[in-house]
Amino acid sequence: MRGGSFIRDNNVLQIPLHNQIKFITKAVTSKIENDKKYALIAVKNQTTNVSIIHPISDFIIRNWKHSLFNTQKRQANNTVKFLNFLYSQNSTYTVNSLEDLTIEHGTEFLNFLTYKERKPKDTVRGFEKTLLNLYSFLYEKEIITTNVNERINIYAKDKDFPSPFKSAHFLNKKKKDTLHFIPEKYIFLFLELAYQLQPIIALGVYMQFFGGLRSGELVNLRVMDIKPIGPYGQNGLVADLQTRYLRNDLKSTCGNDFVKKPRIQLIYGYQDLLKTFYKQHMQNITVIKGDEPLFQNKKQQALTGSMYRYYFNNLKQQFLEYLRHSKNATDNLNALSLENALWSTHIGRGIFSNLLAEEAENIYDISFPRGDSNLESVLPYFSNTQRIKEKLEKRLDQLLTSH
């Protein structure tokens, strides 16, 4: 018997062929590995909402078991999209099992991404690399007879080497540029709109602008994980950043709710601004013991990263709408420019880095790696950042007076 019989006996398309079945990426937590999360591939019945892990998940585990969850999720998402493409086009391609896969199927999928979905070249190349690994995995399992191993090795070293999908086409159109910061004169306007229109994340926006926190870091904070400096944090906040998985009730396929670099991070206070944001936020959330999530939904549950981005993108649209209707011609032009660029929650980190550009190498210059230190013990060390704080305040003062 050829190897890989377990996968063969659970053929990719050996399921009822109707529109209610689809492949999904599913996050699974391993209790024996300290709640480590894995991105696996499952088959879901959309009528019953029941999903089961599919054996092709072994492809993800074999190749990316020790990679970050986000890396696993990206590869699983790419694979899922390919499998769903084959499933939806089954009447055309007649792919009834993994054994039926050919290079032509991969080529058709890549061209579908290019011409039907108008995916940029770099995105399609990413799918192509996933397919190369998938076909290699299936060949090693003796599921298919096409050997792409040698081509993968060469392809990894030489970007100009044609992949097995030689008839795949790619768009030359450039993607939108990713924006890393907005014009400085709009920093306070954006914060003001956050305070007025999106109070659920207003403090988070401030912490991103003046502490460089990622959205995934914000949604992993509990109330006890931040230490105010001065009344209501008037002089700053110190945040203990680490992945805590505050929403274990969700079997989410999202993998952005984690802390990339565990550390203790300073968020700068400016005049009474942080005090105002912090006070409003604490009045709006439920706090009993201190172990509650810092950013809560209406049910007092922790916001997920996707929900934080949802509120942020709403705020972004409100900000752009404000600029579009401004009587200032420069604001109108900037609205067009900002609309035509890619940006979301990462903009806060870019703004903070830009503000600190002349005073610190990077955000981590005003943070401390996590170890045995707690919030109280590291406070004295932040006195060394007073020079940076004074320079930052001076620059912000100039922004206020010049605009």
**Other CB atoms within 10 Å distance of the CB of residue 133:** 19
The predicted structure's pLDDT at residue 401: 76
Q: Residue 189: pLDDT above 70? A: yes
Which run of H or E residues covers position 120? none
> CB neighbours of 395 closer than 8 A, spacing ≥ 6?
355
- Overall pTM surpassing 0.85 (yes/no): no
Q: According to the per-residue pLDDT averaged within each range, which of 5-9, 154-158, 228-232 is highest?
A: 228-232
Q: Is 272 helix (H, G, I), strand (E, B) or coil?
A: coil
> CB neighbours of 167 closer than 8 A, spacing ≥ 6?
107, 111
In the predicted model, what is the mean pLDDT of the chain? 83
> CB neighbours of 296 closer than 8 A, spacing ≥ 6?
200, 285, 286, 302, 303
Q: Give the whole-angstrom CA distance, residue 371 versus residue 218.
A: 20
Fold of 184-402: hpI Integrase; Chain A (1.10.443)
Q: According to the per-residue pLDDT averaged within each range, which of 82-96, 238-252, 296-310 is highest?
A: 296-310
Task: Give the type of residue at 147.
Answer: N
- Edge-to-edge order in the sheet of strand 236-241: 226-229, 236-241, 263-268, 367-369
Burial 144-174 (b: 16+ CB within 10 A, else e): beeebeebbeebeeeeeeebbbeebebbeee
In contact, 237 and 211? CB cutoff 8 Å: yes
55-68 pLDDT, tens digit per residue, is 999 999 999 999 99
Distances (CA, A) of 302 to 25, 268, 291: 22, 24, 11
Locate tokens 């809560």: which residue? 296
Q: Give the whole-angstrom CA distance, residue 97 versus residue 361.
A: 53
Chain centroid to CA 234 = 30
The predicted structure's pLDDT at residue 13: 41
**What are the residue ranges spanned by the domains of the chain?**
5-157, 184-402
* Ramachandran category for residue 60: left, alpha or beta (phi over 0 → left; psi -120 to 50 → alpha): alpha
**Other CB atoms within 10 Å distance of the CB of residue 222:** 18
Task: Give the type of residue at 384.
Answer: N
Higher-pLDDT residue of 357, 108: 108
Percent of the chain whose pLDDT exceeds 70: 81
Higher-pLDDT residue of 157, 46: 46
Locate tokens 């200032």: which residue? 328
The predicted structure's pLDDT at residue 85: 92
For the residues 2-7, what does the mean pLDDT come to? 39
Q: Give the whole-angstrom CA distance, residue 95 versus residue 109.
A: 13
For the residues 343-363, what does the mean pLDDT come to? 78
In contact, 107 and 168? CB cutoff 8 Å: yes
12-54 pLDDT, tens digit per residue, is 444 334 567 899 999 999 888 888 899 999 999 888 889 999 9
Q: Is 264 helix (H, G, I), strand (E, B) or coil?
A: strand
224-267 pLDDT, tens digit per residue, is 999 999 999 999 999 999 998 888 787 654 556 788 888 888 89
Q: Give the whole-angstrom CA distance, residue 176 versus residue 144.
A: 38
The predicted structure's pLDDT at residue 157: 45
The predicted structure's pLDDT at residue 379: 58
